[in-house]
């Protein structure tokens, strides 16, 4: 399965709840997955290695695997 491609500034939504969240800080920390709800919208900040994306949500910026998010049609 090919990695999903997003652009900086794309609005995305959480389609599947990840098992945990990792902060998008220089020194990432694991956080509980309930900080981001299913269906919540966020904005792509940057692409990271390994199919991860830094996404800004209401409660912070997190590294999210591309398989847990989809682009919101404009």
- Which residue has tokens 């652009």? 7
Global pTM reads: 0.91
Q: What digits encode the pLDDT tens for the residues 48-74?
A: 999 999 999 999 999 999 999 999 987
DSSP helix/strand/coil, 7: coil
Q: Dihedral angle at the C-alpha atoms of 28, 29, 33, 38, nearest 10 degrees? A: -20
Distances (CA, A) of 42 to 1, 15, 60: 23, 12, 10
Q: Where are the domains of the chain?
A: 11-71
Q: What digits encode the pLDDT tens for the residues 9-45?
A: 999 999 999 999 999 999 999 999 999 999 999 999 9
pLDDT band at 1 (very low <50, low <70, confident <90, very high): very low
Provide the CATH topology of domain 11-71: SH3 type barrels. (2.30.30)
């Amino acid at each position: 399965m090919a990695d999903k491609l997003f652009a900086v500034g794309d609005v995305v939504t959480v389609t599947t709840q990840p098992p945990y969240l990792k902060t998008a800080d220089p020194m990432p920390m694991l956080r509980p997955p309930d900080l981001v709800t299913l269906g919540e919208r966020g904005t792509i900040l940057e692409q990271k290695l390994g199919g991860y994306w830094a996404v800004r949500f209401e409660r912070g910026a997190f590294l999210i695997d591309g398989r847990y998010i989809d682009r919101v049609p404009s």
